[in-house]
Structure 1
Amino acid sequence: MDQQTNSFLGTEEAPLYTPSSDEKSMGMLSHLLAIFFGFLAPLIIYLVKKDESKYVSEHAKESLNFQITLLIAYIVCFFLMFVLIGILLMVLLHLFRLVVCIIATIRANEGKMYRYPFTITLIK
């Protein structure tokens, strides 16, 4: 039975198997590089590694879904800047992105699956 931990900062699930150190590294990079390169890093990792490792594929898909969800939120914040609340929301969104991406990076390095909160699942 899978262990699952839910919180405001995401959901942590126990993996079905123990991933190799290379798989952990690639899973970790799919979250860490997304901080700097947005959806491009997890997209590239997903396209390159999707057939090689289910573990890496799942982390890359989760990171990609989160980054696409953030892109939508950033667009909404841009339009809300005209009423001044968008600036504050964008700052909070940046901080939230940084925190949960770091948590996801740590979980991937531990060999655990991580589900981002408030994420629209576009890629299954």
Structure 2
Amino acid sequence: METQKEDIRARKDDRTWGFLAHLGGVIGQAFFSPVGNIIGALVIWLFKRNESKFVDIEGKEAVNFQITISLLMVALNIINGIAWGVWSFTHFLVNEPFVRHGHWDTEFFFTFGFSKVIWAVNLAFSIIAAIQANKGNHYRYPFSLRLVK
């Protein structure tokens, strides 16, 4: 009877660590934005992956999703840099240098809006995954690069 209670506690502990692995990305992003999302999920996975197969699977899934989110943000920043560069250069050639004409709103909204959408997607899917892990279910994100195997 005592061994059954220990097994149940261990499984509950595994579910808790799986839950934290999925939320680690969101928590890490809140404290250290550029790569905190990867670090948050990675730290939990690295410390607990050898103790539980469940935590190993959920941790890898969380790390892969956070890497995907970070790559999307990097791509968005590159596109934004190119767009701002082209916009600035063409306005410098066509208009008086360093005079604002009010057209920067579109570029700002494009970048700010998409980065917030990516953040919201990260938050939503991480919460869904954390809830599923806490129930003891494996969760596979709908889009994610599988870089960590």
Are 1:33 and 2:24 matched, yes or no?
yes
* Greater RCO, 1 or 2 (C-alpha within 8 Å, sep 6+): 1
Please provide the CA RMSD for this pair: 1.5
The structure carrying a bigger helix percent of its residues is 2
CA distance in 2, matches of 1:88, 1:28: 29
Question: Following TM superposition, by how much is the alpha carbon of 1:87 offset from its aligned partner in structure 2, in angstroms?
Answer: 2.5
- Residue 90 of structure 2 corresponds to none
Question: Which entry has the higher C-alpha Rg, 1 or 2?
Answer: 2
Q: Which amino acid in 2 is paired with 1:56? A: V
The DSSP-based 3-state class of the residue aligned with 1:39 is helix
Give 5+ residue unaligned stretches, structure 1. 1-17
Pairs within 5 Å for 1:73-92? 73-82=72-81, 83=83, 84=107, 85-92=110-117
Q: Which residue of 1 aligns with 2:70?
A: 71
Can you give the 5+ residue segments of structure 2 that lack an aligned partner in the other structure? 1-7, 29-36, 84-106
State the shift of 1:44 in Å: 1.2
Identical amino acids, percent of aligned pairs: 33
Alpha-carbon distance in structure 2 between the residues aligned to 1:45 and 1:91 = 25
Return the TM-score normalized by structure 1. 0.80
Given that 2:45 and 2:59 are in contact with CA atoms closer than 8 Å, whether structure 1 keeps it comes out as yes
- In the other structure, the counterpart of 2:13 is 22
Offset at 1:117?
1.8
CA distance in structure 2 between the aligned counterparts of 1:72 and 1:33, rounded to whole angstroms: 17
What aligned pairs does 1:79-118 form with structure 2 within 5 A after superposition? 79-82=78-81, 83=83, 84=107, 85-118=110-143
| Aligned-residue offset at 1:86 | 2.8
- TM-score, length-normalised on structure 2? 0.67
Aligned residues: 107
